[in-house]
Amino acid sequence: MCALSSSAQPTLQRFHQTHAAMGTIFTIDLYNTDQATAEQDMDLAFEEIDRLEALLSNYRPSSELSRISREAGTAPVVTDPETFRFLERSLYWSRTSNGAFDITVGPLLRAWGFFFHQGRVPSQTELNAVRNKIGWKNIALARETRTVSFTNHQPMELDPGSIGKGFAVDSVAKLLRNQGVTSAFISAGGSTLYAIGTVPGTAGWPVDIPDPRTPGKIAATIQLKDTSLSTGACTEKFFIKNGHRFCHIFDPRTMRPVEAMLQTTVIDPSATDSDALSTVVFVLGPDASRKLLASMPNTPALIFNQPPSGPSCTAINWIGNPCEASPTAPKRIPPS
């Protein structure tokens, strides 16, 4: 007499690694039954991040992005398909946001001292000089020849800071899926996250969104699954001059740091897009962001700002309204 044999399923284990790149710390958590396979997958992912940093860094003179910055003002520069795709998406968000997003702001960050963490307020004369060196409309892309040109006929400084980490996270998520990974969590410095699948036996990967109105409190805890989340805030990168706090997120149109904004969080299937949008929403503020996201019902945003009337919270396309919760009521932070 024969019977079906019952063999126990291998136990899934959680593996964790960190890696310094792109000026931040990337972390990967993934579930697998085999440590050697898990570590191999994570090593491949970190190699991918390093490859993209070598391609898109604005700090490395040898990068493709730096080469374009130097040469595209003199003559059209033929670039690789990946870098061209990165630039296309960057300019898409510049057009869509009417210039609130702009990867040419490198000279502006430099003028305000953010590249070297020294913080300074430039004169209007300095800002007028910088104005001639920035502007996304000066970038011309020709898809047929895959070329990049600067129509102002001078070098420009392309800064991937508001979209490059998301671009890397998307590449890592694709790589891990191709490796057969079905449960993983990718974090680029905590500001751009991507969840593949779920924590086994749960609805997703728990992510806490802090409430900047009350330090230490949580505005919402969501279960992230097969999508990304990006947050923009000035809690770490800022300087104070004469009692005034200057944020590292700029409105390229005014050439000044954004005022009266605390934090923005955006959820989108693409980490590239959520990364860019967290900056777009931060620059635009609640009212203009509501208009922009009206055509994007599957892209929720949570905005905290600080108008003269006091701290405010706005939820757009959000299921439920975390803004209705009292910011003084403590909420349990789930274990990571």
Kindly give the interhelix angle for 164-178 and 271-293, rounded to the nearest 10 degrees. Answer: 120
Mean pLDDT of 239-263: 88
Query: Domain 198-336: which CATH class?
Result: alpha beta
Q: Show the DSSP H helices in the chain as ranges.
A: 35-56, 64-71, 81-96, 106-111, 124-131, 164-178, 271-293
Q: Is the pLDDT of residue 9 over 70?
A: no
List, in order, residues 6 or more apart from 16 with CB less than 8 Å away. 27, 28, 29
Q: Is the CATH code 1.10.10.10 the one for domain 78-150?
A: no
> Please, are residues 278 and 231 in contact by the beta-carbon 8 Å criterion?
yes
What residues pair up with 207 in beta bridges, in sequence order?
A: 222
What's the pLDDT tens digit per position in 204-234?
999 999 999 888 899 999 999 999 999 999 8
The 8 Å CB, 24+ separation contacts for 316-325 are 316/286, 316/289, 316/290, 317/293, 322/209, 322/219, 322/220, 323/219, 325/219, 325/220
109 or 184: which leads in pLDDT: 184
Helix (H, G, I), strand (E, B) or coil at 299: coil
Kindly give the interhelix angle for 35-56 and 81-96, rounded to the nearest 10 degrees. Answer: 70
What's the pLDDT tens digit per position in 116-161?
667 889 999 999 999 889 999 999 999 999 999 999 999 999 999 9
Tell me the C-alpha to C-alpha distance, in Å, between residue 30 and each of 50, 65, 102, 178, 208: 19, 31, 34, 14, 19
Q: Is the pLDDT of residue 290 over 50?
A: yes
Q: Is the pLDDT of residue 327 over 70?
A: no
The domains of the chain are located at: 13-57+160-197, 78-150, 198-336
List, in order, residues 6 or more apart from 5 with CB less than 8 Å away. none
* 289 exposure class (CB count in 10 Å sphere: 0-12, 13-18, 19+): buried
pTM for this prediction? 0.91
